[in-house]
Amino acid sequence: MTTTSTRPAVFFDRDGVLNHDAGYLSEASKFKWMEGAREAVKLVNEAGYFAFVVTNQSGVGRGFYEESDVDALHQWMAEELAAVGAHIDAFEYCPDHPEAPIERYRRDSHRRKPGPGMITDLMQRFPVATEKSFLIGDQERDLEAARAAGIRGLLFREGNLATFVRETLKLA
């Protein structure tokens, strides 16, 4: 029998945690990293944790931008992180919204936070040590998603994200 060793994970909300929430952000030119965000991801990498991004992107369902725009922005973020020696293991987003004007995205989705689907999908794809993993979010719906997925949820509202992560990892 082969066992895959598990690793803890940090699930980052995107808007309001990794970057300043500019509302329906889809362009790198409007993206502004949160203070300490790139360093925070690097700290997570160096600690041996998976680093994931889980983000609601109803702007797609609302017709403000395309899924290809979200993918391009995430690729740009990955390149920016690589420049400081950091990486995200996987980006997950949910374009759905129950009131989306675009029909194919108009639905209640278990992947849309506060649903846990993006987190649980990642935990099925990667060997995540659930009991040591946590999510960092800036909204109550992020924390609800974490609880529903069986991991800790931590609220980040302001300050330096690297300092927040460094303190959290000390307690882990």
Active site residue 13: yes
> What is the band of 120 on the pLDDT scale with cuts at 50, 70, 90?
very high
Question: If residue 166 lies in a helix (H) or strand (E), which one and from where to where?
Answer: helix 161-171
Select 13-171's CATH number: 3.40.718.10, 3.90.25.10, 3.40.50.1000, 1.10.10.10: 3.40.50.1000
> What is the band of 47 on the pLDDT scale with cuts at 50, 70, 90?
very high
Q: Domain segments of the chain: what residues?
A: 13-171
The predicted model gives 105-122 an average pLDDT of: 98
> What is the band of 171 on the pLDDT scale with cuts at 50, 70, 90?
confident
Question: If residue 153 lies in a helix (H) or strand (E), which one and from where to where?
Answer: strand 152-155
Q: What pLDDT shows up at residue 3? A: 56
Percentage of the chain exceeding pLDDT 70 = 97
φ, ψ (nearest 5 deg) of residue 54? -125, 115
Question: Per residue in 83-107, is it b (16+ CB within 10 Å) or e — as a string?
Answer: eeebebbbbbbbbbbeebeeeebee
Active site residue 21: no
Q: What pLDDT shows up at residue 130? A: 96
Least confident piece of the model among 1-15, 33-47, 90-104, 119-133: 1-15
pLDDT averaged over every residue in the chain: 96
Q: How far apart are CA 8 and CA 131, in angstroms?
A: 8
Kindly name the residue from 15, 96, 138, 142 that is annotated as catalytic: 15
Whether residue 149 contacts residue 123, with contact meaning beta carbons closer than 8 Å, is answered with yes
Helix, strand, coil abundance in the chain, percent, nearest 5: 40, 20, 40
Q: How far apart are CA 104 and CA 82, in angstroms?
A: 34
Whether residue 142 contacts residue 13, with contact meaning beta carbons closer than 8 Å, is answered with yes
Reported pTM = 0.96
Residue 139's CB is within 10 A of a number of other CB atoms, namely 18
